[in-house]
């Protein structure tokens, strides 16, 4: 999205100012404090606090804090979360320690959207609609086992913001393929064995589009590499009523065979390649896309991840890389991810 | 207030009097009329401050109840059969989290073969889910048990299933003394949750517990059910004094005090059993009956006390533990541990097979004469069973039993597949 | 806890008891690195630091200027005449274009003049007196720094006006004299005594006579180097230094319509461009090598060409007779040296300006014991002291690149050593941090921002006037340009580390500028903060076992 721009009036002509790192960074002292992210604030709620047992460089831990801190701020601290089973749940709440700093419930793997709906229904019955409800889970809990409950929650337009932290496989159980695993990726049950190494090419479950097909008020995608964009979307979502869905791309160093320090880089690259379109949709229609700033070939995104190592090893598979590039190119065409946005690319 | 009412409608109205704040509805026979009734009551404004949630599955129904209960609301749902199985995972979760949810189970068989009629297979399959299970003998009791169930659940912070026989009770029109709003309001105080998802006092509900504490947590669940053995009769007693009629409790004996033979059963079949007992008593047979009202927790002491003077016990149950036999019987046996009592297990009424007075009287007569096998099946068509067993023994590929039997009966036409 | 169900319900935030810092194999450590601009600045300016202040806009300009003049008292001059090696080194050059450091410096310098910001004296008076010989950049710089260090300074200059090469070597179209004079005056206002038209003939004598405790010599290199060019009696041959000096002193040199300039340095360009302004229709620079090998800076050549100056590469002047120059074509050998080819050609010229370099007049050191002179310049130690104790030297008269900025740097360095020497001490320059190379940056975070270009006088007007060619940036453009700084190697409070830590193990200490700390109780050592620090101000170091 466009950088925060401030128009100054006065004796000088109206003009837009340049802010060195603009809104690409978390803070930026040159911006008005209100324009910095929630993550830049000393009083951010650290909704997921220290001491959790996520792996080094965990994208999901980061994404959850980004989302919930923003939601906490937008709801003035009146927030309840229902969490699906998965890494996020396991690393945050092993007895006797919890890393959460909000009312939080974990029930099952496949029912987080329904539990959230139940919480929302209870709050409405009690006239406590000032308290907002977030359901959250990983991609397995969302696009696979929790799909039915999520679809029901959407269809009924329950007053829940559901957030999927997508790391593209079942990480908690040892990196098995999910309905969100991308083609060609190696997982514990899509190993690079045989003629078609890695996960099969196919449609996968494009959960954001599926959410949009329900016609719910708000759907957005985001990554952990752009907290401004992510927080704005969370804030927008909290400001709306009814079923809302945010799909956050969160790299998993362990499951992807990537360096822990590359978590944000990979989240950045997946967007810059076009493999993961970052957009938002209101009432089922795409209303905004986050443009690619530095268009990047998919190979640059794939190479640092061992789950794609079989595409580049001794027996490289440029044909498969090409097919992945074609997916990215199609996304770029379909969503208009590149170009026609010079004003954004200049960074004013 | 006496009324002629369908069981489901009476239950729906009673549940509404209990002021549930979230009602989850998913259609499955034979509980459907209950949630339909509640829909009408919510739409008509009779039931206020209640969210009526038309969920997409029983799994979601129970999950919504879990969320609602954890958020401090009083939830309610109803299901049966496959629906109960489909929510099984959530049942364990609700009890594990100690959430006081009340659910009606309109008892029905479990497939395959798919069958919509009454037996107790569904509820029995969830006997170890951590829920309390109360069984209604009549629609009056079904109505009364719901009022009690909310009290018991919330007092113990445990979920309660009220089991009522599908069709036999749910769809039967009987005269029911309906509780009044003021009666229920004074009997059932507003829900004070033991723990609640509240931004003013945040907590983490549903931690992951490892070997270091898991057994203790499970024992504590057991201990709570043991406490229920005190709470259930106390609530029943209080109910009786408030509403002027006995209902619920742990067990109820019928002409059992001096009986040499006691028939043990759950649910609506007790009516037919008691008629048979009366008929046989007329003939001088020393026979009585024991209704188990609370199957979970299982009232070992009360059952033992009731049966200790008998020579023989016949457990008649509407579920079959395939591979072993009786479920209730095994529990009764545990209650009689160390006593010299003849025990007979009779499986009856599976998939809606009618349990008739004459059949029962024949059965009881055999029991009294000690002519019964330890495990027997009421009104089983052995001819068909034998034929199928023979066919299986003859051929290598047996195919599905159900289809074969139905073909035998002539319901399904013979085909090439 | 007691009211809550055992084990399955937990207190919020209780994981703070779990110190995940024990997982760590490496730890993140905040560092300060040497930005390439600072590293490259001959005047030792802390460029990044003053840009940081300027980035704040209106409220930061004066702080920026004050930070700047801690090292260099001539920002308005410097922003115009410095060849800005800082910009050559600037990491942003590898991203898009280098930050226009000089244009921001000039803006700050001009703001200071406009708003009348004054320099401040620093230390208490020391009671020591220092003689500075030469009022050029080096001498003025030394005088300024010595004054701030508490010493009484007298500058003596042989010329009629202060400024040295800034005045006599740099044409006013590059450095307007009001700017120069304002910055000199501001130094003098600190209490520096200036004695013009006072040539020091014998430095030791002058020190004795004046009761000076030390001397800093910065007489420059004002003597144009002559080369023998066979020429007819009537041919006009002048040297570039004399030409520019004379012009400054009010002379109107008669060069004619066709002027040839022999040489390839910046002075050659200045001479040719001056000739154009004096009315020459043809101004031709003759140089024996190629453009790539020309010592003149690119922008000087480019501006000269814009103004119609022509270039004759790979040529030498054989002789000058009858208004005609005989040129010989050269070619470069393998080593890049020009070799004669024997081919010649003629070029009509009314005058020939020699711009072949300058030499220093070192006569004031004649007979001073310990002085060593080599290649026409005075040898000095790392502390800028000559072989004679108490006599220091800098600028064009010592071995170094001859630029205003180098001179200013010498003045500062010498002042610090003189100060130490006067106190019987030795000045220890601070350790230099490790260089903040481009590879340490995460350039993703910097906004796209093409360099703000300074306005330029139209070429037509340049040929007829000595008006300043390159204009200054207006406030908004200067601010923009300052904010293009990448802050290489030093935290600029972007909050990225604080934000990107999945373990909340970065503690934000306060408002911008107060920086951060790693919470070692929880830092797992993932390195995300290091990877996502835009400016390379954090590094991973192995955990001690």
Overall average pLDDT of the B365-386 stretch: 96
Angle between helix B139-156 and B7-17 (nearest 10)? 30
Overall average pLDDT of the A302-315 stretch: 96
Within 8 A of C8 by CB-CB distance, chain B residues are: 96-98, 205-207, 209, 217
The rounded distance, in Å, linking the Cα atoms of B153 and B151 is 6
Overall average pLDDT of the B346-354 stretch: 98
- How deeply is C354 buried, as exposed, middle or buried, from its count of CB atoms within 10 A (0-12, 13-18, 19+)? buried
Task: Tell which residue, A205, A184, A178, A221, has the closest CA to residue A335.
Answer: A221
The rounded distance, in Å, linking the Cα atoms of C433 and B388 is 91
Buried b (16+ CB within 10 A) or exposed e, A193-211: eeeebbbeeeebbebbbbb
Task: Tell which residue, B203, B92, B251, B213, has the closest CA to residue B158.
Answer: B92
Within 8 A of C18 by CB-CB distance, chain B residues are: none
Whether B398 has a pLDDT exceeding 70, the answer reads: no
Percent of chain A with pLDDT over 70: 93
Overall average pLDDT of the B152-160 stretch: 97
Whether A348 has a pLDDT exceeding 60, the answer reads: no
B103 touches B161 (CB < 8 A): yes
From C13, C496, C525, residue closest to A25, measured CB to CB: C496
Whether B404 has a pLDDT exceeding 80, the answer reads: no
So what's the pLDDT on residue C429?
86
Overall average pLDDT of the C265-271 stretch: 94
Tokens linked to A290: 């986050």
The rounded distance, in Å, linking the Cα atoms of C365 and C346 is 45
- The pTM score is 0.92
Binary contact (C9, B220; C-beta < 8 A): no
In this structure, of A229-243, B93-107, C224-238, the range with the lowest mean pLDDT score is C224-238
Looking at the structure, do residues A308 and A191 belong to the same domain, yes or no? yes
Looking at the structure, do residues A9 and A136 belong to the same domain, yes or no? no
Tokens linked to B275: 């008629």
The 3-class secondary structure across chain A, one letter per residue, is CCCCCCEECCCCCCEECCCCCCCCCCCCCCCCHHHCCHHHCCCCCCCECCCCCCCCCCHHHHHHHHHHHHHHHHCCCCEEEEECCCHHHHHHCECCCCCECCCEEECCCCCHHHHHHHHHHHHHHCCCCCCEEEEEEEHHHHHHCCHHHHHHHHHHCCCCEEEEEECCCECCCCCECCCCCCCCCCECCECCCCCCCCCCCCCCCCHHHHHHHCCCCEEEEEECCCHHHHHHHHHHHHCCCCCEEEEEECCCHHHHCCCHHHHHHHHHHHHHHCCCCCEEEECCEEEEECCCCCCCCHHHHHCCCHHHHHHCCCCCCHHHHHHHHHHHHHHHHHHCCCCCCHHHHHCC
The rounded distance, in Å, linking the Cα atoms of C416 and B145 is 96
How close A304 comes to chain B (CA, Å)? 33
How close C45 comes to chain A (CA, Å)? 21
Overall average pLDDT of the A284-303 stretch: 96
Contact residues, C window 39-78, toward A, CB-based 8 Å cutoff: 55-56
Whether A346 has a pLDDT exceeding 60, the answer reads: no
So what's the pLDDT on residue C96?
94
The rounded distance, in Å, linking the Cα atoms of C386 and B320 is 111
**Chain C nearest-CA residue for A268:** C444
Looking at the structure, do residues A53 and A193 belong to the same domain, yes or no? yes
B56 touches A152 (CB < 8 A): yes
Q: How much is the ipTM here?
A: 0.94
Whether A347 has a pLDDT exceeding 80, the answer reads: no
B42 touches A124 (CB < 8 A): no
DSSP state, C385? B
Picking from B204, B205, B219 by the largest number of C CB atoms within 10 A of its own CB, the best residue to mutate is B204
Q: State pLDDT tens for residues C73-118.
A: 999 999 999 999 999 999 999 999 999 999 999 999 999 999 999 9
Within 8 A of A45 by CB-CB distance, chain B residues are: none
C396 touches C221 (CB < 8 A): yes
Binary contact (B97, C10; C-beta < 8 A): no
Looking at the structure, do residues A48 and A18 belong to the same domain, yes or no? no
Percent of chain B with pLDDT over 90: 94
Task: Tell which residue, A152, A198, A203, has the closest CA to residue A180.
Answer: A203
So what's the pLDDT on residue B288?
98
Overall average pLDDT of the C120-147 stretch: 95
The pLDDT mean for chain C works out to: 94
From A54, A57, A95, residue closest to C528, measured CB to CB: A57
Q: What angle do CA C386, C390, C395 make, to 5 degrees?
A: 45
Binary contact (B194, C5; C-beta < 8 A): yes
Count of A–B CB contacts within 8 Å?
166
* Domain count of the fold of chain A: 2
Binary contact (A119, B89; C-beta < 8 A): no
Whether C253 has a pLDDT exceeding 90, the answer reads: no
Torsion of CA B310, B316, B319, B325, to 10 degrees: 60
Buried b (16+ CB within 10 A) or exposed e, C24-40: bebbbebbebbbbbbbb
Looking at the structure, do residues A48 and A29 belong to the same domain, yes or no? no
How close A249 comes to chain B (CA, Å)? 25
Q: State pLDDT tens for residues B197-208.
A: 999 999 999 999
- Which residues have a Cβ under 8 Å from the Cβ of A13 and sit 6 or more positions away? none
From C6, C7, C12, residue closest to B203, measured CB to CB: C12
Whether C194 has a pLDDT exceeding 70, the answer reads: yes
Looking at the structure, do residues A24 and A103 belong to the same domain, yes or no? no
Using the Cβ of A202 and the Cβ atoms of chain C, whether some distance falls under 8 Å is answered with no
Picking from A32, A47, A51 by the largest number of C CB atoms within 10 A of its own CB, the best residue to mutate is A51
- Which residues have a Cβ under 8 Å from the Cβ of B95 and sit 6 or more positions away? B129, B130, B131, B158, B159, B221
- CATH number of the domain to which A221 belongs: 3.40.50.970
Binary contact (B60, A148; C-beta < 8 A): yes
Tell me, which fold does domain C14-32+491-542 have in CATH?
Alpha-Beta Plaits (3.30.70)
Domain boundaries, chain C: 14-32+491-542, 129-223+359-422, 226-355
How close C248 comes to chain A (CA, Å)? 38
Overall average pLDDT of the C478-502 stretch: 96
So what's the pLDDT on residue A15?
46
The rounded distance, in Å, linking the Cα atoms of C198 and C221 is 17
The rounded distance, in Å, linking the Cα atoms of B228 and B231 is 5
**Distance between first and last Cα of chain A:** 12
Binary contact (A12, C504; C-beta < 8 A): no
So what's the pLDDT on residue C251?
87
In this structure, of A20-24, B53-57, C172-176, the range with the lowest mean pLDDT score is A20-24
Q: How would residue A340 be classed by pLDDT, with cut points 50, 70 and 90?
A: low
Binary contact (B204, C10; C-beta < 8 A): yes
- How deeply is C189 buried, as exposed, middle or buried, from its count of CB atoms within 10 A (0-12, 13-18, 19+)? exposed
* DSSP class per residue in C220-231: ---EEPP----B
Using the Cβ of A20 and the Cβ atoms of chain C, whether some distance falls under 8 Å is answered with yes
Looking at the structure, do residues A171 and A256 belong to the same domain, yes or no? yes
How close C21 comes to chain A (CA, Å)? 9
Give the architecture (CATH level 2) of C129-223+359-422. 3-Layer(bba) Sandwich (3.50)
Overall average pLDDT of the B203-218 stretch: 97
The 3-class secondary structure across B403-416, one letter per residue, is HHHHHHHCCCCCCC
What residue numbers bound the domain in which A283 lies? 37-346
**Chain A nearest-CA residue for C505:** A50
Binary contact (A107, B71; C-beta < 8 A): no
Q: Is the dihedral of CA C126, C127, C128, C130 positive or negative?
A: positive
CATH top class, domain C226-355: alpha beta
- Which residues have a Cβ under 8 Å from the Cβ of A153 and sit 6 or more positions away? A113, A114, A116, A117, A135, A160, A162, A243
Picking from A106, A124, A125, A136 by the largest number of B CB atoms within 10 A of its own CB, the best residue to mutate is A125
Looking at the structure, do residues A153 and A8 belong to the same domain, yes or no? no
Whether C192 has a pLDDT exceeding 80, the answer reads: yes
Count of B–C CB contacts within 8 Å?
42
Q: How would residue A19 be classed by pLDDT, with cut points 50, 70 and 90?
A: confident
So what's the pLDDT on residue C526?
97
Residue B413 phi, psi dihedral angles, 5° rounding: -70, 145
Task: Tell which residue, C306, C307, C305, has the closest CA to residue C294.
Answer: C305
Percent of chain A with pLDDT over 90: 88
Overall average pLDDT of the C248-262 stretch: 91
Picking from B16, B159, B206 by the largest number of A CB atoms within 10 A of its own CB, the best residue to mutate is B206
Q: What angle do CA A189, A193, A198 make, to 5 degrees?
A: 55
So what's the pLDDT on residue C225?
86
Using the Cβ of B202 and the Cβ atoms of chain A, whether some distance falls under 8 Å is answered with yes
So what's the pLDDT on residue B410?
65
Q: How would residue B164 be classed by pLDDT, with cut points 50, 70 and 90?
A: very high
Looking at the structure, do residues A15 and A91 belong to the same domain, yes or no? no
So what's the pLDDT on residue B409?
67
**CA A208 from centroid of its chain's CA atoms:** 11
Whether A14 has a pLDDT exceeding 70, the answer reads: no
Residue whose entry in the numeric block shows the structure tokens 């969100």: A180
Whether A277 has a pLDDT exceeding 50, the answer reads: yes
Whether C325 has a pLDDT exceeding 60, the answer reads: yes
From B68, B204, B210, residue closest to A118, measured CB to CB: B68
Count the alpha carbons within 13 Å of A136 in the hemisphere toward its beta carbon: 26
Contact residues, C window 19-38, toward A, CB-based 8 Å cutoff: 19-20, 23
How close C390 comes to chain A (CA, Å)? 47
The domains located in chain B, with CATH, are: 2-243 (3.40.50.970), 251-377 (3.40.50.920), 388-417 (no CATH)
C268 touches C239 (CB < 8 A): no
Number of H helices, E strands in chain B: 15, 16
Q: Is the dihedral of CA C20, C21, C27, C32 positive or negative?
A: positive
Q: State pLDDT tens for residues B183-192.
A: 999 999 999 9
Binary contact (B63, A148; C-beta < 8 A): no
The pLDDT mean for chain B works out to: 95
Looking at the structure, do residues A153 and A16 belong to the same domain, yes or no? no
Q: How would residue B416 be classed by pLDDT, with cut points 50, 70 and 90?
A: very low
H or E segment and range at residue C305: helix C298-306
Within 8 A of A101 by CB-CB distance, chain B residues are: 202
Looking at the structure, do residues A225 and A329 belong to the same domain, yes or no? yes
Whether C281 has a pLDDT exceeding 70, the answer reads: yes
Picking from A103, A109, A147 by the largest number of B CB atoms within 10 A of its own CB, the best residue to mutate is A103
Using the Cβ of A45 and the Cβ atoms of chain C, whether some distance falls under 8 Å is answered with no
Whether A344 has a pLDDT exceeding 90, the answer reads: no
Same topology between domain C14-32+491-542 and domain C226-355:
no
Looking at the structure, do residues A4 and A73 belong to the same domain, yes or no? no
């Amino acid at each position: 999205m466009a950088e925060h721009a401030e128009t100054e009036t006065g004796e000088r002509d109206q003009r837009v100012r340049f802010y060195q790192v603009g809104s690409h960074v978390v803070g930026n002292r040159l911006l008005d404090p209100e324009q910095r992210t929630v993550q830049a604030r000393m009083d951010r709620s650290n909704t997921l606090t220290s001491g959790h047992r996520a792996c080094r460089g965990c994208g999901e831990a980061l994404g959850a804090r980004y989302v919930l801190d923003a939601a906490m701020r937008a709801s003035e601290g009146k927030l309840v979360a229902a969490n699906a089973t998965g890494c996020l749940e396991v690393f945050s709440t092993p007895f006797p320690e919890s890393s959460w700093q909000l009312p939080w419930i974990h029930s099952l793997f496949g029912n987080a959207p329904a539990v959230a709906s139940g919480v929302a229904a209870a709050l409405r019955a009690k006239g406590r609609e000032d308290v907002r409800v977030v359901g959250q889970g990983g991609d397995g809990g969302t696009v696979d086992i929790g799909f039915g409950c999520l679809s029901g929650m959407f269809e009924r337009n329950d007053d829940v913001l559901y957030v999927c932290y997508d790391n593209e496989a079942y990480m908690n159980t040892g990196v098995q393929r999910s309905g969100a695993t991308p083609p060609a990726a190696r997982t514990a049950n899509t190993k690079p064995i045989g003629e078609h190494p890695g996960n099969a090419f196919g449609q996968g479950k494009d959960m954001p589009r599926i959410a949009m097909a329900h016609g719910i008020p708000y759907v957005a995608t985001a990554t952990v590499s752009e907290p401004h964009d992510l927080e704005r979307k969370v804030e927008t979502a909290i400001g709306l009523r009814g079923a809302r869905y945010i799909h956050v791309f969160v790299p998993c160093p362990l499951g992807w065979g990537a360096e822990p320090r590359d978590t944000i880089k990979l989240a950045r690259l997946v967007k810059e390649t076009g493999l993961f379109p970052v957009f938002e949709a209101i009432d089922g229609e795409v209303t905004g896309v986050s443009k690619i700033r530095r268009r990047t070939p998919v190979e640059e995104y794939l190479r640092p991840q061992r789950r794609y190592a079989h595409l580049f090893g001794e027996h490289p598979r440029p044909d498969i890389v090409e097919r992945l590039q074609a997916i990215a190119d199609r996304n770029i065409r379909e969503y208009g991810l590149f170009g026609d946005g010079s004003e954004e690319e200049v960074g004013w | 207030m006496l009324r002629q009412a369908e069981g489901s409608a009476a239950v729906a109205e009673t549940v509404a009097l209990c002021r549930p704040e979230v009602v989850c509805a998913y259609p499955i026979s034979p509980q459907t009329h209950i949630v339909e009734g509640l829909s009408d009551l919510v739409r008509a404004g009779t039931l206020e401050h209640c969210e009526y949630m038309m969920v997409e599955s029983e799994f979601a129904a129970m999950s919504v109840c879990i969320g609602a209960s954890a958020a401090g609301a009083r939830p309610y749902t109803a299901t049966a059969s496959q629906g109960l199985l489909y929510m099984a995972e959530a049942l364990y979760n609700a009890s594990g989290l100690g959430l006081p949810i009340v659910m009606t189970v309109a008892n029905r068989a479990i497939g395959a073969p798919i069958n919509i009629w009454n037996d107790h297979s569904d509820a029995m399959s969830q006997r170890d889910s951590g829920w309390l299970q109360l069984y209604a003998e009549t629609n009056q009791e079904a109505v009364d048990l719901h009022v009690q169930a909310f009290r018991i659940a919330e007092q113990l912070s445990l979920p309660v299933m009220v089991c009522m026989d599908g069709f036999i009770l749910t769809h039967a029109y009987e005269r029911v003394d309906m509780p009044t709003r003021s009666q229920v309001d004074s009997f059932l105080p507003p829900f004070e949750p033991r723990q609640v998802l509240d931004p003013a006092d945040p907590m983490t509900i549903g931690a992951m517990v490892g070997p270091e504490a898991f057994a203790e947590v499970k024992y504590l669940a057991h201990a709570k059910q043991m406490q229920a053995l005190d709470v259930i009769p106390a609530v029943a007693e209080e109910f009786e004094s408030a509403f002027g009629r006995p209902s619920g409790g742990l067990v109820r004996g019928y002409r059992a005090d001096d009986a040499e033979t006691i028939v043990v059963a759950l649910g609506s079949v007790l009516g037919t059993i008691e008629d048979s007992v009366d008929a046989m008593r007329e003939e001088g047979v020393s026979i009585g009956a024991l209704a188990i009202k609370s199957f979970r927790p299982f009232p070992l002491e009360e059952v033992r006390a009731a049966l200790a003077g008998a020579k023989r016990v016949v457990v008649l149950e509407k579920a079959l533990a395939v591979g072993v036999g009786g479920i209730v019987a095994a529990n009764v046996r545990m209650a009689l541990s160390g006593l010299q009592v003849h025990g007979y297990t009779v499986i009856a009424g599976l998939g809606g097979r009618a349990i008739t007075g004459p059949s029962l009287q024949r059965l009881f007569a055999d029991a009294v004469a000690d002519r019964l096998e330890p495990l027997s099946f009421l009104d089983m068509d052995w001819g068909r069973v034998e034929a199928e067993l023979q066919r299986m023994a003859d051929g290598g590929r047996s195919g599905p039993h159900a289809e074969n039997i139905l073909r035998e009966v002539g319901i399904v036409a013979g085909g090439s597949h | 806890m007691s009211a809550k169900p055992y084990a399955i319900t937990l207190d919020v935030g209780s994981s703070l008891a779990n110190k995940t810092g024990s997982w760590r194999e490496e730890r993140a450590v905040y560092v300060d690195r040497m930005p390439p601009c600072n590293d490259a600045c001959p005047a030792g300016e802390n460029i990044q630091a003053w840009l940081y202040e300027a980035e704040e806009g209106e409220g930061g300009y004066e702080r920026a200027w004050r930070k700047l003049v801690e090292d260099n008292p001539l920002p308005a001059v410097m922003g115009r005449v410095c060849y800005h090696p800082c910009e050559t080194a600037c990491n942003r050059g590898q991203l898009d274009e280098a930050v226009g450091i000089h244009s921001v410096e000039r803006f700050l310098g001009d703001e200071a003049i406009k708003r009348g910001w004054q320099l401040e004296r620093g230390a208490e008076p020391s009671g020591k007196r220092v003689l500075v010989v030469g009022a050029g950049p080096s001498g003025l710089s030394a005088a300024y720094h010595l004054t701030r260090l508490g010493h009484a300074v007298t500058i003596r200059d042989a010329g009629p006006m202060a400024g040295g090469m800034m005045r006599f070597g740099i044409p006013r179209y590059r450095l307007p004299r009001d700017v120069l004079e304002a910055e000199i005056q501001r130094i003098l206002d600190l209490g520096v005594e200036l004695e013009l038209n006072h040539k020091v003939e014998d430095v030791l004598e002058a020190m004795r006579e004046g009761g000076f405790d030390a001397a800093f010599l910065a007489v420059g290199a004002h003597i144009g180097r002559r080369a023998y060019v066979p020429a007819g009696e009537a041919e006009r041959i002048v040297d570039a230094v004399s030409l520019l000096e004379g012009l400054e002193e009010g002379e109107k040199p008669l060069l004619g319509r066709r002027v040839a300039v022999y040489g390839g340095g910046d002075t050659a360009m200045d001479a040719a461009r001056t000739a154009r302004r004096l009315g020459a229709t043809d101004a031709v620079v003759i140089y024996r090598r190629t453009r790539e090998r020309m010592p003149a800076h690119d922008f000087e050549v480019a501006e000269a060409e814009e103004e119609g100056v022509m270039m004759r590469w790979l040529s030498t002047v054989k002789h000058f007779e009858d208004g005609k120059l005989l040129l010989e074509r050269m070619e470069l050998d393998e080593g890049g040296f020009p070799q004669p080819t024997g081919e010649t050609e003629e070029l009509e010229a009314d005058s020939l300006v020699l711009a072949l370099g300058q030499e220093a007049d070192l006569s004031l050191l004649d007979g001073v014991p310990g002085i060593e002179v080599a290649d026409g310049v005075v040898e000095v130690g790392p502390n800028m002291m000559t072989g004679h104790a108490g006599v220091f030297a800098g600028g064009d008269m010592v071995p170094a690149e001859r630029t205003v900025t180098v001179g200013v740097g010498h003045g500062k360095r010498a002042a610090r050593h003189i100060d130490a020497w006067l106190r019987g001490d030795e000045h220890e320059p601070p350790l230099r941090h490790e260089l903040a190379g481009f590879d340490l940056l995460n350039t993703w975070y910097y906004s796209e921002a093409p360099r703000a270009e300074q306005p330029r006088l139209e070429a037509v007007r340049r040929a007829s006037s000595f008006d300043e060619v390159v204009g200054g940036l207006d406030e908004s453009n200067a601010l923009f340009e300052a904010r293009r700084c990448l802050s290489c190697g030093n935290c600029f409070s972007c909050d990225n580390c604080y934000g990107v830590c999945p373990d909340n193990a970065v503690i934000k200490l306060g408002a911008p500028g107060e920086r951060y700390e790693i919470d070692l109780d929880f830092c797992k050592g993932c390195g995300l903060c290091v990877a996502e620090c835009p400016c390379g101000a954090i590094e991973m170091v192995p955990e001690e076992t």
